[in-house]
Amino acid sequence: MKVPAVFFTRSLAKLLIGLVVLSIAAVSRLYGEERPNILLILADDLGYGDVGFNGSEDIVTPELDRLAKEGTVFSSAYAVHPFCGPSRMALLTGRYPHAIGVPYNLPSYSSGRHRDKGVPTAEVLLSSVLKNAGYATGLMGKWHLGHAPEFHPNQRGFDEFYGFLGGGILYFGPYQAQNEEGTVWDYRVYPEYNGVSDKTLGKDDYMTDILSDKGVEFIRKQSKSDAPFFLFMSYNAPHTLLAAKQDDLDRFPALEGKRKIYAAMVYALDRGVGRLVDALEETKELENTLIVFFSDNGGRLDQGASNGELRGAKGDVQEGGFRTPMFMHWPEGIERRQIIDTPVSALDLFPSFARIANAELAENEILDGVDILPLLRGEPSEADDRAIFAARHRMVHTEVSGRNDRWKLIWESEEGPWRLYDLETDISEQHDLSDVYPAQVSALLDDIGSWLSEHIEPLWFYSEEEAEAWAREDMPKYEEMLSGDSDASEVAH
**Distance between CA 199 and CA 182 in Å, rounded?**
18
Choose among 263, 275, 304, 300: nearest CA to 140: 275
On whether the CB atoms of residues 97 and 86 are closer than 8 A, the answer is yes
C-alpha 160 chain-centroid distance: 21
The angle, 0 to 180 degrees and rounded to 10, between the axes of the packed helices 349-356 and 84-93 is 30
**Distance between CA 63 and CA 274 in Å, rounded?**
5
Of 81, 84, 393, 397, which residue is the catalytic one? Answer: 84
Verify whether residue 98 is a known catalytic residue.
no
Of 81, 114, 144, 397, which residue is the catalytic one? Answer: 144
Q: Supply φ then ψ for residue 132, to 5 degrees.
A: -65, -20
Verify whether residue 144 is a known catalytic residue.
yes
Other C-beta atoms closer than 10 Å to the C-beta of 382 total 14
Catalytic annotation, residues: 84, 144
